[in-house]
Amino acid sequence: MKFLIQLITIGISAFILELVMPWWCIAIVAFAAGYALKSKANFLAGLFGIGLLWLIKAWMLDASASAPLTERVAAIFSLSKPLLMLVTALVGGLVGGFAAMTGASLKKAKRSDSYYPQ
Amino acid sequence: MLNLRFFISLAFTLILVFLLNNSWQLGATRIPPLGKFLDPFHGFWQNIEPKGFTGPKELQITGLTDKVTVVYDSLLIPHIFANNDDDLYLAQGFVTAQHRLWQMEFQTYAAGGRLSEFLGEGPEGRILDIDRSQRRLGLGYGAVHALESMQKNETVRMIAEKYTEGINQYIATLDYKTLPLEYKLLDYAPEGWTPMKCALLLKRMALTLNIGDKDMEMTNALKLFGKETLDLLYPDREPGIDPIVDNAGGWKFDPVRLDSIPLALPDELIAIKKLPNPDPNVGSNNWAVAGSKTATGSPILCGDPHLNLTLPSIWYVIHLNAPGVNVMGASLPGAPAVTIGYNDSIAWSVTNAQRDLVDWFKITYQDSNKNKYKLDGQWVDTKKVVEEIKVRGKETFYDTVIYTHWGPVTYDETYRGENELKNYAFRWISHDHSEELLALHKLNRAQNHVQYMDALNYYGSPAQNFVFASVSGDIAMRVQGKYPVRRKDEGKFVLDGSKSSNGWQAYIPNDQNIAYKNPARGFVSSANQFPADSTYPYYVTSTSYESYRNRRINNVLRESSNITVEDMAKLQGDNFNMKANECIPVLLFYLYEELPDSSRNFLEVVKTWDNFNTEDSEGASYFEAWWTELMPMIWDEMNTNAVLEWPTSYNTIKLLKENPNLSFFDIQSTPEKETAKEIVQKSLARAVRKISKWKKDHQTENVPWAEYKDSFIGHLLPPLRPLGIAVKHGGNGSIVNAHSRSNGPSWRMIVSLEKTGVKTWAVYPGGQSGNPGSYYYSNMIDRWVADKHYQMIFKSTQAETEKAALYSTSLNPVSK
């Protein structure tokens, strides 16, 4: 449950922040959610939170397209259209995943420092 | 203790973001910043234009003095309604940039020799070599002169400045999300526009159209083959041609005469690596028929300029309306005003007016410092210009270009050269001051023949054949450009640069340029052929003149009456292959011996062919296969280090017919001696093999012409091949429907100049938008392939235009 909340929070906040900030705001969002909403699978929450957001957005833009730009760009990179969508999701997802993981590991660090002195 | 996991994870994330936020060179390819580029909220996905997309209803534009309305019709053609010329040109700049910014800027980078700045030096340094060529040909030097001319004239300065302002207003609205696709792919951003860029763009057009020359080729041919053979292979005037203006005995003026010092013929062999000449298929058709020959009784004017077809489309169609002007037609993205078009009273179109406007002068330096060179018996100072070429990912390249009395020394031992003694300076008409924008501004507003003639007096280069027709019933043709007065054979060979008398002494006065009005035959036409009959009192020469399209057009027009717009559309799409029609009987004449079955079948297809290059024609493919085997076989003597040029198709066919024992018909690699007969037979055997290989490769028994020709409209940047579009279409070079593999009619226009209102039809192979993510990137291609035109919306009021609107945008002034 916590995982799902974390994932959805990442997706929604990234969606909002992307309206006003460059692409790398996804790292900030995932980092913050990794820290504040730490779950058992932070990496996966970031990966799917951002990956799905990017996939759905890309898919929606492509679905309403008046010209086959996705196919054209895919061909420039010698990819197929579904593969280009997947690569898009993966690029966003990986950044989200690692950022979420980083955020989560910061929290653990704090806890261990304050509660379990060595 | 520090949390190791946190730091490793943080470092990894930061590195990942850094990698994805920057562009990387991997081998020959540049990878865009993948995070930025693939982000669907800002990256390339945002360049996808949704179905039913329309632009904003209102925009605030700094610098406008009054409100401007832009009405877009269903082809996304903007109809600009402004209250004064200043606002009109500002709006033209803004609207054009909105659809074509990347293309406009790319073309000026290309002309300015700055492609390496964002493309890098390219595989084997090819991009850097292109940049150096533009610098060493002096495109910037010519553009500076053009800019000086622009600034001297109040009107032209205003036009260029306002147009520039409009483009910059658009650039100011951009962020990464709204940037055109190509900037995102290549990871760079637009810089500000300047009037200098308009000048560079005009020079780029001149480069395409009038930089062709064969001075070095002719010099070598003279040395290798002698004067007699040279004249046989490359006659100034091919017999049996139909000139643009046939006015025999009618040239009633006193021509400029030069002291006729016979020019010394050079005696040298040049083995520099000359820059390639422009594609000989760059040409055009235009004609106008008088009311006496049309069904409506009003003149009809047609024009289709042929260029290397690219996407974004070469032309941008626009309608400009302000007090005193209501003009519409094709404009060059990056240059203000309408280049080819029509207004309420007149219409005009252009074809390239080939003439030798280039000379190469051999320079003798005093010593290896190259500080002085010989001119009229003295050592004169050279001027050294250090060209700074920025190269992405590498250190800046500095190229020293030496300027002389003649112009820049393009070729020396540092560039495509042979040795220290071979230094050639470039003299080009497009280096000179000129006022083309003023000519276009006036032409856009011309109401009649007198005003058309006046406007053209300001037009210098690239020289064009301007066809004209007016609502008042006149038709006319004028071969206009700045033409040097040439002595016989002058400009054909490389010249001695140490004598200033070898240069251009005078120019043909405008009123002595080739022109005529309302000829008795009821039509005027041009298709890059020889410009005048033999009584025209000036010496005329060029790299080559076209010999087929013009005769076909004239034959059809001569025989036509009650001409309709449909007839004209049919003629623009006419596929009759006159070259094949004249060549095939000559080839068949030599094939009287028994042939193998495969050759007999091949010949049967050729013989039964109707000589039309329609899409499904097989004969057209067979003939083309044969012709492209025959030409290199005949001119194999020209495969030498010294640069040479093949004679024209027209003259080759003539020689095959009339000189069967010409030494060139001997194939050098074989021990026996071939004549026309053997070369025809041997080329046939090869053509048969070529066609059967094609059939095997394509796993088919049919060789339809459109498949065999396999045309492709590529993106302006050829490595972006998926942004180009393959088309299956009839026609070919030398055919009225002049669509070869990559060249073709870039704009087709038909104007009926009726008293009740000018009506026009047009189409071009592409679309108004330069965005590969827009429906309007290529929406007109299908109709263009079908040789069908669109009727243009051309009204004189905003209200009437709005009836056909897709949407309108108000451009509202904001004070600075």
**C-alpha distance from B726 to closest chain A C-alpha (Å):** 13
As given in the structure block, the two tokens for residue B382 are 């050279």
- What is the pLDDT, as a whole number, of residue B557? 97
Element (H, E) at B556: helix B549-559
Q: pLDDT tens digit string along B60-100?
A: 999 999 999 999 999 999 999 999 999 999 999 999 999 99
**C-alpha distance from A39 to closest chain B C-alpha (Å):** 16
**Binary contact (B774, A67; C-beta < 8 A):** yes
> pTM higher than 0.90, yes or no?
yes
**C-alpha distance from B767 to closest chain A C-alpha (Å):** 12
By a Cβ cutoff of 8 Å, what residues of chain A touch chain B? 18-19, 22-24, 27, 31, 54, 57-58, 61-62, 64-67, 69-73, 75-76, 87-88, 91-92, 94-95, 98-99, 101-102, 105-106, 108-109, 112-113, 118
- What is the pLDDT, as a whole number, of residue A116? 45
Q: pLDDT tens digit string along B582-607?
A: 999 999 999 988 888 889 999 999 99
**Binary contact (B3, A108; C-beta < 8 A):** yes
Say yes or no to pLDDT of B798 above 90.
Answer: yes
Pick from B772, B626, B763, B775: which is nearest to B694 by CA?
Answer: B626
**B chain contacts of residue A57, beta-carbon cutoff 8 Å:** 40-41, 45
Q: pLDDT tens digit string along B674-707?
A: 999 999 999 999 999 999 999 999 999 999 999 9
Give the whole-number percent of chain B exceeding pLDDT 70.
99
- What is the pLDDT, as a whole number, of residue A108? 57
Give B274's pLDDT tier (boundaries 50, 70, 90): confident
* C-alpha distance from residue B648 to each of B75, B130, B661 (Å): 40, 27, 19
Q: pLDDT tens digit string along B705-725?
A: 999 999 999 999 999 999 999
A52-72 average pLDDT score: 97
**C-alpha distance from B615 to closest chain A C-alpha (Å):** 26
B465-477 average pLDDT score: 97
**C-alpha distance from B39 to closest chain A C-alpha (Å):** 6
Cβ count within 10 A of residue A15: 18
Residue of chain A with shortest Cα separation from B773: A69
- What is the pLDDT, as a whole number, of residue B277? 79
- What is the pLDDT, as a whole number, of residue B280? 67
Greatest mean pLDDT range, A8-22, B200-214, B265-279: A8-22
- What is the pLDDT, as a whole number, of residue B260? 67
Say yes or no to pLDDT of B243 above 80.
Answer: yes
A21-43 average pLDDT score: 93
- What is the pLDDT, as a whole number, of residue B680? 95
**Binary contact (B51, A64; C-beta < 8 A):** yes
B 660-679 residues inside an 8 A Cβ radius of A: none
Say yes or no to pLDDT of B613 above 80.
Answer: yes
- What is the pLDDT, as a whole number, of residue B403? 96
- What is the pLDDT, as a whole number, of residue B365? 94
- Distant-in-sequence, close-in-space partners of B267: CB < 8 Å, separation ≥ 6: B222, B223
Residue of chain B with shortest Cα separation from A105: B6
| Local structure of residue B223 (DSSP, 8 states) | H
Q: pLDDT tens digit string along B24-74?
A: 988 778 899 999 999 999 999 999 999 998 999 999 999 999 999 999 999
DSSP 3-state assignment of B138? coil
Residue of chain A with shortest Cα separation from B6: A105
**A chain contacts of residue B722, beta-carbon cutoff 8 Å:** 71-73, 75-76
Cβ neighbourhood burial of B378 (10 Å; 0-12, 13-18, 19+): exposed
Residue B10 touches partner A, C-beta closer than 8 Å: yes
- What is the pLDDT, as a whole number, of residue B287? 97
Q: pLDDT tens digit string along B639-674?
A: 888 889 999 999 999 999 999 999 999 999 999 999
Give B144's pLDDT tier (boundaries 50, 70, 90): very high
As given in the structure block, the two tokens for residue B408 are 């820049």
**Binary contact (A67, B772; C-beta < 8 A):** yes
Say yes or no to pLDDT of B787 above 50.
Answer: yes
Give B738's pLDDT tier (boundaries 50, 70, 90): very high
**C-alpha distance from B317 to closest chain A C-alpha (Å):** 21
**Binary contact (A109, B48; C-beta < 8 A):** no
Cβ count within 10 A of residue B224: 15
**A chain contacts of residue B53, beta-carbon cutoff 8 Å:** 66
Q: pLDDT tens digit string along B369-414?
A: 999 999 999 999 999 999 999 999 899 999 999 999 999 999 998 9
CA atoms within 13 A on the CB side of B456: 30
- What is the pLDDT, as a whole number, of residue B544? 84
ipTM of the complex: 0.93
Picking from B3, B5, B8, B9 by the largest number of A CB atoms within 10 A of its own CB, the best residue to mutate is B9
Give the whole-number percent of chain A exceeding pLDDT 90.
84
How far apart (Å, rounded) are the C-alpha atoms in residues B179 and B193? 16
B185-193 average pLDDT score: 96
Q: Are B260 and B542 in contact (CB under 8 A)?
A: no
**B chain contacts of residue A70, beta-carbon cutoff 8 Å:** 45, 48
Q: pLDDT tens digit string along B277-320?
A: 777 667 899 999 999 999 999 999 999 999 999 999 999 999 99
- What is the pLDDT, as a whole number, of residue A115? 45
Q: Are B62 and B169 in contact (CB under 8 A)?
A: yes
- What is the pLDDT, as a whole number, of residue B597? 86
DSSP 3-state assignment of B710? coil
Give B434's pLDDT tier (boundaries 50, 70, 90): confident
Backbone angles phi, psi at B302, to 5 degrees: -130, 145
Picking from A76, A80, A84 by the largest number of B CB atoms within 10 A of its own CB, the best residue to mutate is A76
Q: Answer whether the bond into residue B462 is a cis peptide, omega within 30°.
A: yes
Say yes or no to pLDDT of B621 above 90.
Answer: yes
Pick from B544, B526, B651, B649: which is nearest to B246 by CA?
Answer: B526
**C-alpha distance from A77 to closest chain B C-alpha (Å):** 9
- What is the pLDDT, as a whole number, of residue A117? 43
**A chain contacts of residue B42, beta-carbon cutoff 8 Å:** 18, 22-23
Element (H, E) at B96: helix B85-111
Give B763's pLDDT tier (boundaries 50, 70, 90): very high
**Binary contact (A27, B39; C-beta < 8 A):** no
Mean pLDDT in chain B? 94
